[in-house]
Chain A
Amino acid sequence: MKFLFLTLLSICFFLPAKANTIFYLTKIPNLKVYHLKTSNDIKYLTAEKPFKVGIVQNNVQCGVASDEEVEKSFPIIKANFDKYEKNFLNKINLKYVVICKNLKVSDINTAGVPNHNVKTLIIDIGFDTNHFERSMHHELFHMVDDSFDNLFSKKEWEKFNTPLFKYAECSTCTNNLDLTLIKDTRGFLTEYSMSTASEDMAEIFSFLMTDKKRLSKIVMDDSIISKKISFLKNEILKIDENFKFD
């Protein structure tokens, strides 16, 4: 009996998931349409079932957010992505936002996973509520960076920091993971900013999109942040001259 049960179970597991038409665009299984009518043409999708994706060993996984959770968070998510115009989103290759819960990359919790090749940004609805809004812009910046890596030179960026400072090899190669705004910034807005140049850029961009007022106060005392902001703004305006910050 036990053998029969295990056999049936293994058949269920090893049969490939039935793909739907969303899969052909996003390359993510088990998604359904949540909201399509938006001014900037972003299509919001949710997970019907947990999914695993990834080029190597399906290392990106995410679970299902309940209808109530999605309903509660969706106005916040939409309000934040509505800050971007369709033209800009087309340039950075963002069309699909996947809303799910407990997003992990190689078993490490993460706020979002961008993939400009399939025009998709996966976001974790259950991510740290204090930084949830900002995290969406942070992840979106990675799509900007991935789409225009020639504009956001890491070498140029590193020159803004003090000569003795060195970023880590990767964002998860360090314990600098705190996303709280540092009181005495000294060139970095958060602890996480110190992990890599790319994360540093994404952190500054996220503050630019959510808390420009506070940032304008910080730049009065922090020349490094000021230079970093100018650099980011200049490069982003090269992508879209009509881009509006905040």
Chain B
Amino acid sequence: MIEKVKQTTSEKLLLALFIVLGLVAIYIFFILPQKCLFIKDYNPKVLSFEKPKNIVVLNIDCGNIIIELYPENSPKSVERFKMLISLGKYNGVAFHRVIKNVLVQSGDLEFGKKDNYNYLYIGTGKSGFGTLRSELNEKIEFVTGTVGMARTTNLDTEDSQFFILLQDAPLFKGEYTPIGKVIYGLEVLDTITDDRRREYVLRPDFINSFSLFEK
């Protein structure tokens, strides 16, 4: 006759510990790296827009960011931005400057390309189309989601780089050129890799595609 052996308390505790450790391991190795897990991906084709000609779609690993442009306020900058998008210039370009909960910056066409990333000069690259005059606007507020043209410390040095705000920046009004605003997918931007210690990211995320909206 087989005698039933009861588990001791310490054995039960050990088993519980193994289960907890297993769950932690699953979380660390499988769930945590999935940064896109609970991020909603917006499909622009099922959405309706008031001014579809002003809509552009930025796609990164975790989904789409849908931006409405302001051609009325910043005609030259928006024209440049749309031209670069239509030429596919932003595809494969890094988000080289990411400050968590503050802003993300991309658009260095010279030194920020995936196949030609230059750590030394990143952020200083040019598009080859020349610089633009700043189109400052005293009416447009720089709030979370605002897309602006990046520049050097001097005005009239805008080119191809742009930033998207992750927090309100009232002081940017009248200082930077606003070119649009994220209308869907702001939470997707939170998944872009940042480096806690520095603004410039060592292993940045890249733009998969940036395209003009087509129904």
Contact = CB atoms under 8 A, between A and B. Distances in A.
Interface of A: 15-16, 18-22, 25, 33, 36, 41, 43, 96, 117
Interface string B166-185: 01011110110000000000
A25 B175 contact: yes
B198 interface: yes
Contacts of B175: 25
Contacts of A16: 197-198
B165 A21 contact: yes
A7 to B, nearest CB: 17
Given A21-B172, A33-B170, A15 B197 contact: yes
B140 to A, nearest CB: 15
Contact of A21 (B102, B174, B198, B199): B102
B99 A19 contact: yes
A25 B174 contact: no
Contacts of A43: 171
Contacts of A33: 170-171
B103 interface: yes
Interface in B88-123: 99, 102-103
A22 B102 contact: no
Nearest to B175: A25
Contacts of B199: 19
A21 B164 CA distance: 12
B137 to A, nearest CB: 14
Given A21-B169, A36-B171, 6 more contacts: A18-B99, A21-B171, A22-B169, A25-B171, A36-B170, A117-B153
A41 B103 contact: no
Contacts of B103: 21
A41 B99 CA distance: 28
Nearest to B169: A21
9 contacts: A19-B102, A20-B167, A21-B142, A21-B167, A22-B171, A25-B172, A25-B175, A33-B170, A43-B171
B142 to A, nearest CB: 8
A16 B199 CA distance: 10
Contacts of B174: 41
A25 B155 CA distance: 12
Interface string B30-56: 000000000000000000000000000
A21 B171 CA distance: 8
